[in-house]
Amino acid sequence: MAGRALIVEDEVELSELFTEILHRRGLDAVVLHEGAPAPAWIRDHAPDLVLLDLMLPDKSGYAVCEEVKLDRKTNLIPIVMVTARSAHQDMVKGLAVGANEYVTKPFTLDQLNAAIDRALAWRDELCRCGAKEEIHFELKSDACFLEELNHMLSSLFLYSGLPGDSIRQLTTAIREMGMNAIEWGHRKQGDLLVNITYRIDKDRVVIVIRDSGPGFNPARVPHAADPEDPVKHMEVRDALGLRVGGFGILMARGLVDDLQYNDAGNEVRLVKYFAPR
């Protein structure tokens, strides 16, 4: 049985090319030339893949993608953005609203097929391990982008099944750990990207925050608060130009059910469990 894909593209010739490419992959494609009807169509038909342009006549591809990814019914559907917008900030914004892949025009057939392969493999892996939903974000190392992301995650958490207190605790922990990635992992180098993954499993919500810095030993953190001496870090932070305070790791551990760093110290995993039924 053939799969189904949606193409959201206002250029007729390009949409016909996409249709042929997907047909060769065993996917029957439906084309929409405007963005506004796309989220409802995706909810009603649950396609296996969406190819999405950004510059649409009525509604931007960013808005379409964000709406689809904020809907629990549709956020496991892979979205590949295919656009002429090639600036770095455009790609960052596309990934920030949940796109799985970002392909710029002009592209080669191999580039597009590779992006589709990765997007489909992402969904297959989630289905294989039983995850209910997952979204991957990338954002520049700037507090304003982190706040925008936390606002979006707060909306997602409302549909996760977590109670209100748990949502507030988790978003606070994300803010603290995100700022640690920006300030300590990236030393406020704004062009470096912080990777954040939101995932719902059967019994928990998992957030993974990863920076591209050298990492650290979580057991020896001179710039973080210590339960035995919670103010000794302040002189170090002042010398490094970091935030006053520095209780982030200590605070976050008390706000989530589990907090674990990877061996390199540049990735932290935050877990909140659903209350037993």
Do 35 and 92 belong together in one domain? yes
Say yes or no to pLDDT of 246 above 50. Answer: no
Do 27 and 49 belong together in one domain? yes
3-class SS shares of the chain: helix, strand, coil, % to 5: 40, 20, 35
Do 103 and 173 belong together in one domain? no
Do 55 and 137 belong together in one domain? no
Here the CATH number for the domain that contains residue 91 is 3.40.50.2300
Note the pLDDT tens digit of each residue in 115-147: 999 999 988 877 776 666 777 777 778 888 788
Question: Total structural domains in the chain?
Answer: 2
Q: Which of 136-145, 159-168, 172-181, 228-237 has the highest mean pLDDT?
A: 172-181
Domain C-terminal end among 74, 108, 129: 129
Q: Which two tokens stand for residue 125?
A: 């892996």
Do 111 and 211 belong together in one domain? no
What is the pLDDT averaged over residues 202-207?
86
Q: Which residues, other chains included, contact 32 with Cβ-Cβ below 8 Å and sequence gap of 6+?
A: 6, 7, 8, 38, 41
Q: Which of 29-38, 196-205, 223-232 has the highest mean pLDDT?
A: 29-38
User: Which band of pLDDT confidence, cut at 50, 70 and 90, is reported for residue 108?
Assistant: very high
Domain C-terminal end among 129, 152, 173: 129
Domain that holds residue 116: 3-129
Do 116 and 141 belong together in one domain? no
Domain C-terminal end among 129, 163, 186: 129
